[in-house]
Amino acid sequence: MRAARRPRTSPRLARRRAETRERILRVAAARFAAQGVDEVRLDEIADDADVARGTLYNYFPTKEALVIAILKPVLELAERKVQGMADLGPRRGVDALLALFLELWRSHAEPLRVVHRIPQPLGELAALHGTFLQGVLRVFERSARAGILRAKDGALAARIIGRVAIPLLELYDGHPRAEALFIESVRGLLLDG
């Protein structure tokens, strides 16, 4: 007996599904970034994305699943990029880290705003976020050993950048020298000389 064949999804239908999913993610990221995850209801996202509530639940059965879908790509990229900084010198490592924040801001500003607004990453994202933070800590510990940090403490420098990077990027957003101001500000805050 032959197994029953699954009907093939047409390319047009697959494209529509992908577009719907992306629209939901875009709307949700903007709402979560502006209001906070706890303040937004899924039915509001469905309305803003112009999809039925059932459609939204077919793609994302829970708010946590939606938040994970928004944050996972940016955390995966950040984790992968910070791992590549392992062999850089102390000052080059800090510069690479700042460049990473700028790169992420350019391509994933809303998800960065969301991750900054939640106290701890959700479920399966906790390990990924932890690996990223360990990479950041390694960069700053190397810089502390080289004596280039104002605070002389890599863990403190990692906490500082975790607290100020996204608010500074938001503050400078739209300014003609936004990226240079961000780099100058963080370097001035963290580095000696």
The pLDDT value given to residue 13: 86
Q: What band does 120 get if pLDDT is binned at 50, 70 and 90? A: confident
Q: How far does Cα 96 stand from its chain's mean position?
A: 17
What is residue 7's predicted lDDT score, i.e. its pLDDT? Answer: 63
Q: What is the pLDDT of residue 162?
A: 92
Is the per-residue pLDDT at 6 higher than 70? Answer: no
Q: Which two tokens stand for residue 99?
A: 């460049």
pLDDT at 114: 94
Residue 119 has pLDDT above 90, yes or no: no
CA distance linking residue 26 with residue 184, whole number of Å: 31
d(CA 147, CA 89): 12
Q: Do residues 150 and 100 lie in contact, with contact meaning Cβ atoms separated by under 8 Å?
A: no
Q: Is the pTM of this model over 0.85?
A: yes
Identify whether the C-beta of residue 151 lies closer than 8 Å to the C-beta of residue 99. Answer: no
H-type alpha helices, 36-124: 42-49, 53-59, 63-83, 90-117
Least confident of 9-23, 115-129, 179-193: 115-129
Provide mean pLDDT across the span 177-187.
97
Q: Work out the pLDDT band at 27, boundaries 50, 70, 90.
A: very high
Residue 53: the pLDDT is 95
pLDDT score recorded for residue 86: 81
Q: Specify the pLDDT at position 14.
A: 86
- 83-92, 120-129, 179-188: segment of lowest average pLDDT: 120-129
Burial readout 40-75 (b: 16 or more C-beta within 10 A, e: otherwise)? bebeebbebbebeeebbbebbeebeebbbbbbbebb
How many Cα atoms are found within 13 Å in the side-chain-facing hemisphere of 41?
A: 4
